[in-house]
Structure 1
Amino acid sequence: MNGRRETLTIGRYGKYGITLAVAREKLIDAKKLVDEGVSAAKEKKRAKAKTKSEGTFGELALRWLAESEMSDSTRDMRRHIVDRDLIPALGNYTLREVTGEDVR
């Protein structure tokens, strides 16, 4: 970009990472961005910052408990479930990382 070389980390390769085919697809996408004059590395940083600013599953669950209209007994029951089961298991994940199956 602008006569300078940038390094873009695509992801971890191997058993617990991405496949070579996925890495190649991401490389092609990054090259397209560079051809358009957009820094792929900066776009990745922006996307990561946006995801972090959205909050964690735990923060959103507590906000839902505080803002939802329900009776006190229902709120207490749901808070107990959230505190006992959901926050320890999923509390630090972003909302995009949590699926319905994870919650079930």
Structure 2
Amino acid sequence: MIWRNLMVAMVEGLQPYRGRLPAVVADSLDVASDYWRCGRGRPEDLLGAKIECWTYLAERGSSLQVGDDEARLTRAVLCTLEPSSDAEAASDLAEWFQIMLASLE
């Protein structure tokens, strides 16, 4: 339950940035929203969206860098695409998510 609540909070926290997301990343956020907020979809859908985001980052040369807002927002969306984990991972993921959003310009 903690994991789902965290994912819902992160999905909702990303909504104000929706207009700044590249299309593929916005689509991935929709997948996360459907899964976490609406109970639609499967864990495999999250994985597919995760692959799309990483492919986007790799194509723009940002797979190892968080140097601009698009890369930071994409990484924040990636946080919402993890199907499950434990409390320690939830804490780490929440911290990373917060760092990505706090560093936006």
| TM-score under structure 1 length normalisation | 0.29
Select the structure that is richer in helix.
2
Q: Which has the larger radius of gyration?
A: 1
Q: Which has the higher contact order (CA 8 A, sep 6+)?
A: 2
| TM-score under structure 2 length normalisation | 0.29
